[in-house]
Amino acid sequence: MPVPPTAHAPVAMGTEAGLTLVLKTESGRDACEAFLAAHHLRSEWRAPSLRLCVRGRVDDLGAAFGLRWVEASSGHLVAQGEVTLPPDLHSILRGVMGLDERPRMRPHLRAKAFAETAAPEGEGCFATDFAARYGFPPGNGAGQHVGLLQLGGAVAQSDLAAYFGALGLKVPEMVLVPVSGGDPNPAKDPRWEMTLDVEVLGAIVPGAKLSIFVAPNSADGLLDLVEAALKGGPDQPTVLSMSWGAAESAWGALELELVSDAFQAAAGLGVTVLVSSGDEGSADGATDGKQHVNFPASSPWVLGVGGTQRWDAKEIVWNALAEQKGATGGGVSDYFELPDWQKDVAVPKSANDGAVRRGVPDLAAHAAEAGGYRVFVDGQWRVLGGTSAAAPLLAGLVARINATRPKPLGYLNPALYGAAKTALTPITEGGNGAYAATEGYSACTGLGVPDGAALLKALT
């Protein structure tokens, strides 16, 4: 990640900060740890991604790496300068990351304008209504284990009791798993994101076990989050849902590669990963005049989930940017090559450079605020939208299908673009800015919206 040149407030000597060394192989660990110890720095080893997460005083870090730490207006620490390393470490390191502690990702949800007051009676739809709309097969996910990947927030049990009580359901079995100092505190934002995810997913699979992994909002936090959710063993979640991300341009190449590799490990464990594609159209909120897909939805090892809306009794691409109410993210990756399983679906050319690479998203579901998801949060009924809601909704569909099978679906992308493609209905109207809906695949809503029963049949 490039170090921003912006001026910030100086940091007092003795202040604690950190960075991360990424090794080529574990054989270089001893040399790195000896170098760190010589500079009075502590480190923790992250074996799956070969990372040494380093902490220490800014003066010691500066002496070791030639950097200067400053404080951003948000209060987070940022390193400035060019990283310098001794020659013997150059050959054993892939790179250095973690130089900017400012939150990296944002949740992908939208709240209606009246969200500070209770939603009117009958406003919005329960997740179960969307399950019926998309023909989900029957079931409650009994015996399944689904993980939610979060970068902040928490849920209030009183909100969950009210929501599931209105559906005639018990609050699902739920475990909060703090990771690397993640703070599941109900008093902190973004509690609406986590509450939305739990209520949507729990309504679809109330019989499943839900594990909510919470880590700090950073590249290292995301890596720790995914690695914590992929420890394997008999209690391994077989579906993961994530409703957070940032434009690919906000990440360094090493960060993109490491996080995508972590999701590749999910495929090896038989885990399906679904990630929302963002809520700010084809530019993904960037102001550089270019188009950007959202990461980690752009990783070829996850299913990117886009958004739709209802219009005149039909389903079209979700785009309410004119009213400043968001639009589905989607487009063509600037980093990831075209996967084999997308080579037969006419992914469009990049609006940036005309190249054809990984297309995002892969499929879609309702995401608009209008007619959105009815949830209970902060003691009131509210209506929320965003691809944040579409991802856990479709994660629930995967869990229902898994419940009918002797083994989980696992890495679903090749099958979805193969025999199961006919179980999705393409969205042929609308656009998200630079990309338009078309017959077949589009960089707005992917292959389209699912028919759950047909998808179950196609995957059996």
Q: Partners of 315 in the beta sheet?
A: 310
**The token pair that represents 271 in the structure block:** 């885990």
Q: Is 220 a catalytic residue?
A: no
Tell me the C-alpha distance between 458 and 437, whole Å. 24
**The token pair that represents 435 in the structure block:** 């990309």
Q: For the domain 106-458, what is the CATH code?
A: 3.40.50.200
Q: Is 33 a catalytic residue?
A: no
Residue (of 388, 376, 390, 374) closest to 156 by Cα position: 376
**Under 8 Å CB-to-CB from 284, ≥6 apart: which residues?**
246, 247, 278, 291, 292, 293, 294, 329, 331
Tell me the C-alpha distance between 372 and 383, whole Å. 6
Look-up: residue for tokens 């594990």?
Answer: 211
Residue (of 256, 281, 304) closest to 351 by Cα position: 281
**The token pair that represents 97 in the structure block:** 């990351």
On whether the CB atoms of residues 324 and 313 are closer than 8 A, the answer is no
Residue 347 has a CB neighbour count (10 Å cut-off) of 23
| pLDDT for position 74 | 84
How many residues make up the chain in this entry? 460
Tell me the C-alpha distance between 19 and 372, whole Å. 41
Tell me the C-alpha distance between 184 and 260, whole Å. 25
Tell me the C-alpha distance between 222 and 245, whole Å. 10
pTM: 0.94
| pLDDT for position 116 | 53
Q: CA-based diameter of the chain, in Å?
A: 68
Residue (of 3, 39, 46, 40) closest to 21 by Cα position: 46
DSSP category for residue 25: S
Catalytic residue selected from 159, 197, 284, 315: 197
User: N- to C-terminal Cα distance for the chain?
Assistant: 43
**The token pair that represents 119 in the structure block:** 């939603």
DSSP, residue by residue, 276-321: E--SBGGGTT--SSS---EETTTSTTSEEEEEEEEETTEEEE-B-G
Amino acid found at 330: G
On whether the CB atoms of residues 134 and 365 are closer than 8 A, the answer is yes
Amino acid found at 285: G
What is the full per-residue pLDDT of the chain (460 aa) written as tens digits?
444 445 467 888 889 999 999 999 999 999 999 999 999 999 999 999 999 999 999 999 999 999 999 999 888 899 999 999 999 999 999 999 999 988 888 888 776 544 455 666 668 999 999 999 999 999 999 999 999 999 988 899 999 999 999 999 999 999 999 998 776 665 555 588 999 999 999 999 999 999 999 999 999 999 999 999 999 999 999 999 999 999 999 999 999 999 999 999 999 999 999 999 999 999 999 999 999 999 999 999 999 999 999 988 899 999 999 998 999 999 999 999 999 999 999 999 999 999 999 999 999 999 999 999 999 999 999 999 999 999 999 999 999 999 999 999 999 999 999 989 999 999 999 999 999 999 999 999 999 999 999 999 999 8
Catalytic residue selected from 211, 282, 388, 442: 388
Residue (of 343, 382, 336, 342) closest to 363 by Cα position: 342
**The token pair that represents 61 in the structure block:** 């870090």
- Residue 228 C-alpha from the chain's centroid: 15
**Under 8 Å CB-to-CB from 249, ≥6 apart: which residues?**
286, 288, 290, 292, 334
Dihedrals phi, psi of 35, to nearest 5 degrees = -60, -45
What's the Cα-to-Cα distance from 412 to each of 252, 416, 421, rounded to whole Å? 27, 6, 11
On whether the CB atoms of residues 212 and 153 are closer than 8 A, the answer is no
Q: Is 121 a catalytic residue?
A: no
Catalytic residue selected from 60, 100, 159, 193: 193
Show the DSSP H helices in 154-252 as ranges.
Answer: 157-166, 191-204, 219-229
Instruction: Tell me the pairing of strands 145-150 and 173-178.
Output: unpaired
Look-up: residue for tokens 């910030």?
Answer: 8
On whether the CB atoms of residues 136 and 128 are closer than 8 A, the answer is no
Tell me the C-alpha distance between 144 and 400, whole Å. 8
